Amino acid sequence: MITIIDRYIIKKFLTTFFFMLGVIMILATVFDLAEKLSNFIEMGASAYEVIFQYYFNFILLYANMFSPMIIFVSVIWFTSKMAQDTEIIPIWNSGRTFGRFVRPYMIAATILMIISLIVNHFIVPQANKVRLDFEEKYYWNQMVVADYHAEFPGNQVVYFANYSSTTDVVNGFTVEQWNEDHELVSFLRAEKAQNIAGTKKWVLTNYFERVVGETEDKVIEASTKDTIFDFTIDEMATRENVAESMTFFEIREFIKREREKGSARVAMYEIVLYERSSLPFSTYILTIIGIAVASRKKRGGVGVNIALGIGIIFIYIFAMKVTAVAAMNVGFASYLAVWVPNAMFGGIAYLLYRNVQR
C-alpha cells in the first residue's frame, strides 16, 4: 500500500530528477553548440536539421546515458534537504523501518530504470542513426582508413592500403581465398577498387588475379573488372561509434560478423551492448548509496553530501573506464567489464544500507 509519505517521496524523487536532467541537458546542448556551430554554418545545415535531426537525438542519447548519475545526485539533493528540514526523523520515529523508508525510492527508481531500458534498447539506436547521419553529412569532413586487414566468413582475407570517403576509392586492394586446409585458392589484387553504393558490386581497376590449379595456375589481368563480393565498404570503413545506431538484434549479428573477421573492436562493441542493460540497473545501487549518504543530518548541510556524492560518481566512472580498457586491451571479458563496477558498488550499497539500519 502506497501511503501519503510514499507519494511525497516519489514525487520529490521524480520532480528533482527531471529538473536536474533538464538543466544538465540544456548546459550540454549550449556547450556542444558553441563548439560545432561554425561547422554547421560552414556545411550549410538548416536550423530544422540542427534542432530536430541532431540536438533532439543528442539529448535522448546523453540524457539516458547519464541518467543513473543524475538520479544519484537527485537522491542526495532532495534527501539531504529532507534531513536538514528534519522531515526524516519524524518518519523513523513513527515506527517505520529504514527498509520501509527506502520502498518509495525503489518504486521511483524502478520507473526510471524501466524507461531507461526501453529507451536504451529500442529508441536510442534509432535516434542515433539520424544523429550519426547528420554528423556524417555536416560535421565529419571525411573518413580515412589505413592498413586494413580482416578475415571474412568463407576463409576470405581482405586487406587494403588506404581508403578515403572523400574519393570513395580503395587503394591497394587485395583479396585472398583460402580453403579449409589453409591452402591458397586464389589471389586478387587491384590498384584501385570502388564499391557501388548500396550494393555488393565492386569495380576494380588495374587488377591482377591468380587462381591456383592442380598442375598450373591461371593468371588473369585487365584494366577494369566488375565483380561481386560478400562484403561492402561500409563494413570495412566504419567509425568507432557505429554500434550505437544498432538495435539489440542488429548489434548481436554485427558483433558475430566482426568476431569472424578478427576485428580488434569486438570488445568495444560488446561493451556498448552490455552497457544498455548494466547502466539502467545501476539506478538501484546508486539510489541506495544516495539514501545512505544523505539520510542523516550532517554539519555542513547539503553541500557536504553533494560533494561526497560527486566523489562517489567519479570513482564509479573511473571503475567503469578501467574495466572497459581492460576488456579492450588485455582480454578481460566484456560482460564482466560492465558488471564488475555494479557488483563492487552493490557491495558498498549493501554495507551502507546495513550500517544505516543500525
Q: How do residues 266-287 score in pLDDT, each as one tens digit?
A: 888 888 889 888 989 999 999 9
Would you place residue 198 in the very low, low, confident or very high pLDDT band (cuts 50, 70, 90)?
confident
Q: Is there a contact between 115 and 53 (Cβ–Cβ < 8 Å)?
A: no
Would you place residue 240 in the very low, low, confident or very high pLDDT band (cuts 50, 70, 90)?
low
Is position 246 within any domain?
no
Q: How far is residue 269's CA from residue 33's CA, in Å, rounded to a whole number?
A: 28
Do 92 and 156 lie in one domain? The reply is no
pLDDT tops 80 at residue 235 = no
Do 151 and 134 lie in one domain? The reply is no
Output the pLDDT for position 295: 78
Is position 298 within any domain?
yes
Question: Strand 184-195 to strand 169-178: parallel, antiparallel, or no bridges (unpaired)?
Answer: antiparallel
Do 128 and 148 lie in one domain? The reply is no
Do 26 and 122 lie in one domain? The reply is yes
Q: What's the pLDDT tens digit per position in 278-335?
A: 989 999 999 998 888 887 766 656 667 777 777 888 888 888 888 888 887 777 888 8
Do 196 and 114 lie in one domain? The reply is no
Output the pLDDT for position 141: 63
Is position 247 within any domain?
no
Do 119 and 150 lie in one domain? The reply is no
Q: What value, to the nearest 5°, has the Cα angle with vertex 311 and ends 310 and 314?
A: 85
Mean pLDDT of 135-158: 78
Do 22 and 92 lie in one domain? The reply is yes
Is position 162 within any domain?
yes
Q: Tell me the pTM.
A: 0.76
Output the pLDDT for position 106: 93
pLDDT tops 60 at residue 358 = no
Is position 193 within any domain?
yes
Integer angstrom CA distances of residue 234 from 134, 182, 230: 17, 27, 12
Is position 299 within any domain?
yes
Alpha-carbon radius of gyration of the chain: 27
Mean pLDDT of 220-226: 87
Residue 291: closest CA among 358, 353, 357: 353
Do 167 and 309 lie in one domain? The reply is no
Q: How far is residue 104's CA from residue 108's CA, in Å, rounded to a whole number?
A: 6
Number of domains in the chain: 2
Would you place residue 251 in the very low, low, confident or very high pLDDT band (cuts 50, 70, 90)?
confident
Do 131 and 272 lie in one domain? The reply is yes
Output the pLDDT for position 115: 93
Output the pLDDT for position 52: 92
Range of the domain at 80: 4-139+265-357
Output the pLDDT for position 111: 94
Do 152 and 116 lie in one domain? The reply is no
Do 123 and 19 lie in one domain? The reply is yes
Q: How far is residue 326's CA from residue 314's CA, in Å, rounded to a whole number?
A: 18
Q: How far is residue 68's CA from residue 75's CA, in Å, rounded to a whole number?
A: 11
Output the pLDDT for position 299: 65
Do 194 and 232 lie in one domain? The reply is yes
Point out the domain boundary residue: 186, 203, 238: 238
pLDDT higher at 264 or 175? 175
Is position 333 within any domain?
yes
Point out the domain boundary residue: 185, 219, 238: 238
- Residue 285: is it exposed, middle or buried by C-beta count within 10 angstroms (0-12/13-18/19+)? buried
- Residue 99: is it exposed, middle or buried by C-beta count within 10 angstroms (0-12/13-18/19+)? exposed
Mean pLDDT of 31-59: 89
Is position 120 within any domain?
yes
Point out the domain boundary residue: 238, 255, 284: 238
Q: What's the mean pLDDT when you consider all of the chain?
A: 85
